[in-house]
Every structure is written in C-alpha cells, then in structure tokens.
A and B are shown apart, each in its own frame.
Chain A
C-alpha cells in the first residue's frame, strides 16, 4: 500500500443539510473495513483553494440552493485545476441540491438563471413545492441503492447524458425513470439517507475507484458480514416501499 486515499470534504459548514456529513463518516468507516486508509481534509472557506492536486475524492454533501452561485464561483476560480483533476480520473461527487453546481444551470423560481460548472449535461428548475419521498434505484455496479430524496428543483438530463441510476421506486430526477447523472468519475445523485451509510457497497465502490486511479493496492472489498445491519435495513424498508408501490 502506497498511501492513504485523499478525500476533500468541500464546505462542510456551508453544505450542511439533510445529515450529509454521514456520507463522510461512512467513507471513513468503510475504508477502515476495507483496510484502505483515508485522509480527509475539510475545505472550510469559499476563499480557500480546493486541493485538486492532493485529492482523490472531492465530496459535496447536500446544501441549500441559495449557496450555489458562490460555490460555482469558488470552483471557477480554479477551473484549470478542476479540469486537470477530472482528466486524471479524480472523483467529484455532489449530493442532492449541491448537484446543481455540476450542471449547466439552475432556473430559479423568479425566472433568473444561475450558471453551473457544466460538467454534467443537466438543467435544474426550481420547483414550486418540495417533493420528499423514498428513493430506490439500480446502478451500473450491479447493486441497488436505497435512500430518500428531498427535491426542491427538477433535473432534466441532456440528450446523451447518462444517469447515475434507474429508478425502481421514487421520483429521481423528474419522474422520468432517471436518477442522478454520471460522466466518468463526476457523479450527481439525489440520494440522501445518508446514501453512503445506508449503502456501504457504494462507499466501497467509490473508494475502490479512487484507489485504482491512485495506484493504491492491498485492500479488500466488503463481504456480507460487513453489511449485516445495512442489509437488514434494506430489506425492512423494501417491504415498506413495496406496499406503497402496490397501493399506487
């Protein structure tokens, strides 16, 4: 093993809602189970540089839409470094409303448009009312993910933009069967839960991808003994969701 996996936790105080910090706790804990050490750095202030050269994973937990312009501006300030980071296969993950930062733009309720970074081909439109529900979707990794979503903006993917998953239950991006968006290692998901806590296989997958890109070896993937409580949670909530599906 050469080194730890480097995780930049971007703006933990600003992107502070929906228990999002649980995702970072999960990455920390799952990495221990995998025998894959991580080093996590908090990027506190908008004025401070994001450590693109250092990071293997850059993670934005769920935040309020109002903060999006300032966050886009902070990333734009380091546009060259951001593009190099994505080119080298760095992981950039944004959850819930923070995903608006990665898209083409956000149409606000007053009709004004706020530009995003354009890393994922998707357009956001602020909703008149909030949509909150469970979310269950399949992924390209061969496992399903379960969590919740609180949506205050609809997301429309551009033609050719791959989703992160396909919904089994829930609204996902806008009720069209797509959930989130993914291009290379740039990922947006609506999934809360926190997603990485409730779906440790996803956390392990993210860490594995980071390890492969960084050339780090000597770790193991999770087995069923590592996820006993999470699997029981999945089964219990599956019953609850299936009841709702049958009622529809």
Chain B
C-alpha cells in the first residue's frame, strides 16, 4: 500500500511540477512537495539510489544560498550530476521537490550527489528523513527572534544531527559554527586570514561580542573579517578561531579579486569579505568530493550569484541604490550599512524598517538595530536621512539619533505610502539615494518613482 501511495505521489507531483514550470517557471518549489508528502508521508524513504555518503546539507543563518550555488556550479563544471534546490526552497517540501524532479518514473534518483540548502530550524526534521553524511555550516547568528528566540536554539538543533558519522565543514572563524565542528571526529575547517577589509572594535565602549559556545565566558575578537566572524579567543577556556583552517583563504587581494589557498591562486568575482567565506567553504566541500581544485578555480571565475545583495536603478536623474536586508537579522543590516559606508560620495539615506508580519502576532521589533552600528555610515557623507514606516518610523529615527545623527538632517515619515516617500526623496537635491528596506517595499518605491518622474515630465 505504501508503495502505491509513493508512486501516486511521485506521478501526481511530477505532473504538477511540470505544469507549474509551463505556467510559471521557478514557482513550483514547494507545492508539489507538500502534495507528495500528504499522499506519501515517507516519500523520501521510497526513492531508490539515495546515498547519505553522497548527500550534502548546507545550513546556517547567513550565506546558505550562495554557498550551495557555488558548490553546485563547481559540480556542474566537474561533470558531477547533482540534485540541488537552487531556488532556495529549503524546507522539507522543497527537498522533496528537488528529489522528485531528479527521480525517474521508477522512483530512482538519477544524480551522482544530492546537494541541499537546508533551513537550520528544520534541519532535524529533514535529517530524520534524509540522513546526509556531509554538513556544511556557514554560521549561527542572531536571526528571526520571533521564531528562533536566541542563537543557541538553532545551535542545539544543528548539534542534534551531528555525530562521528557526519563530516562537518565548519567555519573556524565563526564561534558557533566552529564549536559545532568539535562534535564530530570528521571535522573539516575553513577560514579566512585577516585582510585589508578586516577591522577591530578597540576603543568602542559600546561594542559587544558574544558568549563562548564552549564555556559561556566572554569571547574577544582580536579582529573581525565580517560581523562576529574573525580571529576570536575566549580568555576563560582558550577556545579560539585563530588557528589555520584546513582550507584557509590567504593573501586576500580585494583590488585584484584573488586569494590563495594551499598555495594555489583563485579569482573571485564577488569581492566582499562575506562572499570569501562562501568561496572557501565551497572549495572545502568540492575538494573532499574529489574535484580537482583547478576545476573549482575555473568555476569561481564565471560563477553568477542568484539574487544579489545590492542593485542600482537610475530614475529621473537620481540613482537609487538598494541594499538588501532581512529584518531581525543584524548581520545582514550591518553588511548593507558597511557597503553604503564604503561609498564616500554624498548620499541621501532612506531607512524603511517595518513591523514584522511573517506570522501572527505581528509586532514592532526594531531592537535588532541596536545590535548594528550606524556610525560609519553616518560619517560617510550623508546629506540627509529619511525614516519611513507606518509603525516604527520614530523608532528607526531614534536609532540614528542615538548614533549621532544631527536632528536637522532627519525627516520622519510615519507612513508606508510610497508616493509620499518618493515625493520626499525628490525634494532633496542629492542624486545619490541609498535605500535600506525590504525588497517588496523597494520595488514599490521604484514603481512609484517612475510614475512620479513620468508625471513631472508630462507637466
């Protein structure tokens, strides 16, 4: 009976996935999986040819998609057939869709390996159905507190699937990921040397680091490569991220976009400190799957990332720079701020934090912005700041004022009406506009700006 249910699920979901592809390619990432699981709850266990030793999960708070996509690109270059959830559907239904798309009508997987970006919160559930023996951990950081509470909640979930049978690829410079690597004898570490983009927080009275995942004492970062990732040391127990990793990006040259690992030079197109960790993690995984480093090097050269972190659009003489952020995720906000701060030309800064509407109860969290530092940005030639939101505009404004913004340079718009926001943007003479908000709101602002400019031209 179970077999019949499995085949029914396979055929119905395959047809559905095919149908969705025809109507709206790229949208069928979850629904066929949900249906397959409804018909056959143990769907995955019936797929033939799954080899846990050739199954890789990429998990963690930030960087999962890019790392997965990079590994997939290397595999493709090497001629390794991989079942990958490139569209980022990283919950159980998304995993099922990836498998059914790569399975024959007989229910047999047709690929050499399985490579899955895996949601960190649902990792134990996915692992129970598909016990991958390779786990690449990017980082465990503050994120989605309404769901996750605190980083240790996620740490425990990831830890629950690690034993000595699992090979963990751990970021040695990120304390939580590094400590997870200590739970198996098969740990492969990756890391990045201090480089020209590294920084420290010495002399910053309000700087905070994090608790040591081993002894819960205070960790100190001698230098940071990115927020909360770098050369850390625990003064209480000695746990540290200063040792050379098994795969270490050295001699990092952002100007010429190269780094060296194990004596070999690699080009990297996306030359930000954040991406470096994705490159070196991908190298660690691909090397351990027997792919020659020359192939990885070639793959790095022409890798194109899906869904970039920033974009620029010119409308009516103003260039709108968008910097992607995730609410309740201080690291992504800080990355956006750092990218903006690197540009020293005069800029109008538009900040659109909002209330959280992922699930009920909706609520007005802006406290995560106090885990970020706006001072570098505010010192980078800001002509004026606009804070908008129907609910938290004044809270966002307070955050900027607490980091030293001159009140005369601040406009608070207690609205989410993009028309009003756009009118305010075009009141200011500065043509360099930096916007930090949710992607949906940015798109609405852009549409409204186009209409505004068209309207002005018609006048």
Contact = CB atoms under 8 A, between A and B. Distances in A.
Interface in A171-186: none
B218 A65 contact: no
B150 A133 contact: no
B355 interface: yes
- Of the listed residues B152, B365, B390, B412, the one surrounded by the most CB atoms of chain A closer than 10 A to its CB is B365
Nearest to B151: A64
A194 interface: yes
Given A13-B210, A19-B370, A47-B236, A148 B152 contact: no
A63 B398 CA distance: 23
B117 to A, nearest CB: 23
Interface in A59-82: 63-67, 69-70
B148 interface: yes
A16 interface: yes
B304 interface: no
Given A46-B217, A65-B152, A16 B236 contact: no
B282 interface: no
Interface string A119-150: 00000000000101110000000000001101
A25 interface: yes
Given A46-B236, A148-B367, A197-B370, A233 B146 contact: no
A67 B218 CA distance: 10
A12 interface: yes
Interface string B383-419: 0000000111111011001100000000010100000
A18 interface: yes
A33 to B, nearest CB: 13
B211 A63 contact: yes
Contacts of A152: 149-150, 153
A47 B236 CA distance: 8
Contacts of A133: 146, 361, 363
B337 to A, nearest CB: 15
B394 A67 contact: no
A29 B399 CA distance: 13
Interface in A6-27: 11-14, 16-22, 24-26
B306 interface: no
B361 A21 contact: no
A66 B216 contact: yes
Given A236-B391, A236-B414, A237-B392, A19 B148 contact: no
B436 interface: no
B369 interface: yes
B211 A197 contact: no
B146 A16 contact: no
A47 B147 CA distance: 33
B160 to A, nearest CB: 12
Given A46-B236, A240-B391, A192 B367 contact: yes
Contact of B150 (A17, A45, A244): A17
A96 B280 CA distance: 38
Interface string B350-368: 0000011000011111011
Contacts of B206: 21, 24-25
B145 A150 contact: yes
B417 to A, nearest CB: 14
Interface string B205-222: 110111100011111100
Nearest to B221: A13
Contacts of A134: 361, 363-364
- Of the listed residues B148, B394, B402, the one surrounded by the most CB atoms of chain A closer than 10 A to its CB is B394
A134 B371 CA distance: 19
Contact of B367 (A11, A16, A18, A47): A18
A193 interface: yes
A25 B142 CA distance: 20
Nearest to A233: B394
Contact of A64 (B150, B209, B356): B150
A32 interface: no
Given A13-B218, A45-B235, A150-B145, A21 B398 contact: no
21 contacts: A12-B208, A21-B371, A22-B370, A22-B402, A25-B370, A42-B205, A45-B218, A46-B236, A66-B211, A67-B216, A69-B216, A130-B145, A132-B146, A132-B147, A134-B364, A197-B398, A197-B402, A198-B398, A236-B390, A237-B391, A240-B391
Interface of A: 11-14, 16-22, 24-26, 29, 40, 42, 44-47, 63-67, 69-70, 97, 130, 132-134, 147-148, 150, 152, 192-194, 197-198, 229-230, 232-233, 236-237, 240, 244
Task: For the complex of A and B, list the 7 residue pairs with the smallest distance between their C-beta atoms, beginning with the closest.
Answer: A19-B370, A132-B146, A233-B394, A22-B370, A19-B367, A13-B218, A130-B149
